[in-house]
Chains A and B, each alone.
Chain A
Amino acid sequence: MTAATLATPELNGDLSAAGVAFDLSDTNGAATSRDTEFERDALPWLDDVYRFALSLTRDESDADDVVQETFLRAYRSWHTFIPGTDCRRWLFTICRNVFLRSRERQRPTVDLEDGEQDAVAAGSVYAAARERGYDDIYARLDLAPALRDAVDELAEPFRSAVILVDVEDMSYETAAQVMGVPIGTVRSRLFRGRRLLQERLLTVAEDMGFVTSAEAAR
C-alpha cells in the first residue's frame, strides 16, 4: 500500500458527501475551534492508533499509511465527532475501516458457537502446562518477542479483539463498537485469540528448551 493509493477519490467522495469541503472555507474562528478540539481530543491518541494500525497491517510502512489516512479522515470529518464521547474509540473505528477498505475486503465474519469452549480449552492448555512444569512460564520467561510474533500470526478478527481488549484495555462493549460487531462476537473472538496465543506460547517455551522449576532444582 502506498500513500498515493490512500490519498483517494474515496476520501474526496466522503468529503463531498459529508459537506466537509465547506469546512475548509470556514471562518477562522470555526477553524481554530476545530483545531483546538482536534489537538486536545484526537492527537493524544496517535500512539494508540499506531499500535492498533500496526497490529492490523503487520507492516510498519502500511501502518504509517493507515495512521495518516485515519487522522486525515478524522480531521476532515471532525464535525461528526460528538464532543464528550470516546475519541479513541472513534479513531480506532476509523482506523479499522481504513484498513479494511485498503484491503478491499468486507468485514470478516467468523462464526463461533461459544466463547466458553475456548475458555475451557484454555483450561486444558493450563493443565498441560502444569503437567510439564511450565505453569510459571509467564513469570520466568521474557515472552514479549514471542508473544508479539504470536499476536501477529493470529487471524485478523481474533487479533483485533486481543489488541483492543488485552493491549488497549477496552471493554467488550467499546471493542464491539470499534469492530462493528455484537459484544458476544467480540467475546468469542477474544477467547479464541487468547487460547491460540496460550497454545502457541507453550510450544515456544518447549522450543526454547525451557527448564522447569523442578528440573532447575536438581
Chain B
Amino acid sequence: MTTSTRARLEGLGLSASCVEVMQHLWDFLDEEITPDSARRLGAHMKECEHCRNYSDYQSCFFDALAKLKANLDAPSELRDKLASTLKREGCGCWDKARKS
C-alpha cells in the first residue's frame, strides 16, 4: 500500500492496526496468514468494534458464497451421458457415474 493511501485511511479515523486488518482480513479469514500475524490481527479485533463488525461483514459474504455450492450438483442427464461415455470406453465402473 502506498504511503498516501495509508495516510488517507488513517485520516478517516482508522488506526494503523485497523488499516492492517483491512489489508489482511481476507488472508486471515482464509487461514493463509502466519500464526504471528493472525495473533496480532486477532488481538486487535478483540479490542476494536469497527474491525469486528468488518470481519463479521466479510464472514457473511464468505458464507453466502459458500452456499452457492448447495443445489448445484451434476444433473442426472449428465450423469447418464457420462455413464454411457465411460461404458463405451470400457470402464468397468461406468454405472457408478449415476447417482446411487
Interface of B is mostly: helix
| Least distance between B12 CB and chain A CB atoms (Å) | 8
Q: Size of chain A's interface in residues, with CB distance under 8 A? A: 58
A203 CA to B65 CA in the complex, in Å?
Answer: 17
Contact A54 B64 (CB under 8 A): no
Q: Which single residue of chain B is at the shortest CB-CB distance from A47?
A: B73
Instruction: Contacts A67-B74, A71-B86, A117-B1 given; indicate if A144 touches B64 (C-beta within 8 A).
Output: yes
A114 CA to B25 CA in the complex, in Å?
Answer: 15
Q: Which single residue of chain B is at the shortest CB-CB distance from A169?
A: B66
Query: Is A143's beta carbon under 8 Å from chain B?
Result: yes
Query: Is A50's beta carbon under 8 Å from chain B?
Result: yes
Instruction: List A contacts of B96 (CB < 8 A).
Output: 39, 43
| Least distance between A211 CB and chain B CB atoms (Å) | 18
Contact B61 A51 (CB under 8 A): no
Query: Is B24's beta carbon under 8 Å from chain A?
Result: yes
Selected contact of A116 from candidates B1, B12, B54, B97, CB within 8 Å = B1
Contact B74 A75 (CB under 8 A): no
Q: Mark A180-195, 1 if CB is under 8 A from B, else 0.
A: 0000000100110010
Instruction: Contacts A43-B96, A138-B57 given; indicate if A167 touches B89 (C-beta within 8 A).
Output: no
From A36, A46, A172, name the one whose CB has the most chain B CB atoms within 10 angstroms: A46
A45 CA to B19 CA in the complex, in Å?
Answer: 40
| Least distance between B35 CB and chain A CB atoms (Å) | 16
Query: Is B46's beta carbon under 8 Å from chain A?
Result: no
| Least distance between A125 CB and chain B CB atoms (Å) | 10
Contact B66 A166 (CB under 8 A): yes
Instruction: Contacts A35-B91, A35-B92, A191-B26 given; indicate if A147 touches B65 (C-beta within 8 A).
Output: yes
Interface positions of B from 53 to 69, Cβ below 8 Å from A: 53-54, 57-58, 60-69
Contact A167 B97 (CB under 8 A): no
Q: Mark B85-100, 1 if CB is under 8 A from A, else 0.
A: 1100111110011000
Instruction: List 5 A–B pairs whose Cβ atoms lie within 8 Å, in order of A's numbering.
Output: A71-B85, A72-B85, A72-B89, A119-B26, A143-B64
Q: Which residues of B contact A (CB under 8 A)?
A: 1, 5, 9, 12, 19, 22-27, 30, 32, 53-54, 57-58, 60-69, 72-75, 77-79, 81-82, 85-86, 89-93, 96-97
Pick the 9 closest A-B CB pairs, nearest first.
A138-B60, A35-B92, A39-B93, A50-B74, A123-B22, A166-B65, A47-B73, A35-B93, A116-B23
Q: Which residues of A contact B (CB under 8 A)?
A: 24, 31-32, 35-36, 38-39, 43, 46-47, 49-51, 54, 60, 63-64, 67-68, 71-72, 75-76, 114, 116-117, 119-120, 122-123, 126-127, 129-130, 135-136, 138-139, 143-144, 147-148, 151, 162, 165-169, 171-172, 187, 190-191, 194, 197-198, 201
